[in-house]
Amino acid sequence: MSPIPKAQRELLRLRSLGVCELCGAARATNFHHRKNRSQGGGNELSNAMHLCGSGTTGCHGMVTEHPLDAFDNGWSVRSFADPAETLVKRQGTWVLIDDLGYVTPVEETKWLG
């Protein structure tokens, strides 16, 4: 596996402002892949979240330890899904994340049909 490019880490840090994108309360310390690299997920910003903790602590640990909640909230993305088209609950708000670092809030009523 190749390391995450420094430019991608910098863009993620700019998007998150250094704050966990899940809880919004703690300092973000880890690059979380929404779709695992082993399932074809890359280092694109749509596939990344800046989370507190590690794979076993903080929000990053919670995502790892609670996979069903993670899929339901878009923090993890199934192998057949496109992260750029998968809604994610970011600090309590449903959003779409693109590969340029933009976050677009989505009203629940618009995507529930």
| Residue 62 forms part of a structural domain | yes
Residue 95 above 90 pLDDT? yes
Tokens (6 digits) for 28: 């973000």
Q: What is the pLDDT of residue 28?
A: 97
Q: Is residue 1 part of a domain?
A: no
Structure tokens at 68: 């069903």
Position 55 scores a pLDDT of 81
pTM of the model: 0.89
* 68 lies in some domain: yes
Q: What is the residue range of 40's domain?
A: 6-112
In a domain, 47, yes or no: yes
Q: What is the pLDDT of residues 17-55, one digit of tens each?
A: 999 999 999 999 999 999 999 899 999 999 999 999 988
Q: Based on the structure, what is the number of domains in the chain? A: 1
Does residue 79 sit within a domain?
A: yes
What does the pLDDT average to over 83-102?
A: 95
* Mean pLDDT for all residues in the chain: 92
Beta carbons of 45 and 51 less than 8 angstroms apart: no
10/80 Cα distance (integer angstroms): 28
Helix or strand or coil: residue 95?
strand
